[in-house]
Amino acid sequence: MMSRLRTANLVALLLPLALLAGAWGSQLIGGLIPCEMCHWQRLPHYAAVVIAVLALMVRRGGGRAALVAVAALCIGVSGVIGVMHAGVEYHWWQGFTACTATAPLGGISAADRLDALLHAPIVRCDQAQWSLFGVSMAGYNAILSLGGATLILWLLRRVR
């Protein structure tokens, strides 16, 4: 039987990997362009993956549990950002950032770069590009991240 610490560690690794795969898949395969707040949600997941991998390398002691707890907190931070972003999308409160646009960075002249920037689609943080059952990607990130962080911390509560 798998120990609670190992289970928590695997959840702390696999959950952010799955959420990042979904985000990147929707971007690269689905053609959705992430807004600034979408990128903010990804950053704590990247950190959680690195920390969870480091935790897998620790064999004994409280160091592993501490690393897994920090990974859970990173996942929870992404969930909180997801709540803030979903609230902006549902117009519950005003956003924190201006709209963003994408433009190619290298291999073209400054004039072509400016033209591409002026004709690039504007990605608004206050409009969900995709939703399922009325819940946006930011909403699903909030639900899964906060639920996952809670599960990880619950699993760690009895670890010695």
* Model pLDDT for residues 78-108, shown as the tens digit of each residue: 999 998 888 888 878 777 665 544 555 567 7
Q: What is the pLDDT of residue 62?
A: 75
Lowest mean pLDDT among 27-31, 52-56, 79-83, 152-156: 27-31
Mean pLDDT, rounded, for 8-33: 91
- Asked if the model's pLDDT at residue 131 lies above 80, the reply is no
CB 56 within 8 Å of CB 119: no
Dihedral, 56, 59, 60, 61 alpha carbons, nearest 10: -40
Give CA–CA dist 68/12, Å, rounded. 7
pTM: 0.77
